[in-house]
Amino acid sequence: MNFRPRHTEEPEINLIPFIDVLLVILIFLMLTTTYSKFTELQLRLPVADAEAQRDYPKEVIVAVSADGRYIVNKEPVSGRSVDALSFALSGVAKAGKETVVIISADAAAAHQSVITVMEAARRAGLTQITFATQSSAQAGAK
């Protein structure tokens, strides 16, 4: 029996090839990954140029004044309720469900007044709604 202690060499880990492989992987990931900056909401704000006012049978123009009065196709609406406005919209919608409701609201009009027009259009069965705007050149001239 051999009771002499053996001198074993501890294995040595060579880190240079390991680092080389990691650097190659890092370079590969850097080249193949696209870094883009994401915002919470990406919005494209509309640009509006007002056209000359047209008189098409498929359009109903609803004007909302600053004090909340309504005018449907140049005819004042008696009352400010959703029902009165819905009745007026039903009367002038010649094209039926294909009629486009154009809301032309004063800049100082209450938000509720515009929502009332939208609700009245929904009750009248009119689903196509748009908003009239003016160009910045016209706004500056006034």
Give phi and psi for 62, each to the nearest 5. Answer: -110, 115
Q: What is the mean pLDDT of residues 22-34?
A: 89
CATH 3.40.140.10 given to domain 59-141? no
Q: What pLDDT was estimated at residue 11?
A: 78
Cα(121)–Cα(115) distance, integer angstroms: 10
Q: What is the mean pLDDT of residues 85-92?
A: 89
pTM greater than 0.75 (yes/no):
no
42-82 tens-digit pLDDT: 545 556 655 555 555 688 889 898 888 899 988 888 888 99
Indicate the domain borders of the chain.
Answer: 59-141
98-141 tens-digit pLDDT: 889 999 888 888 889 999 999 999 999 998 998 887 755 555 55
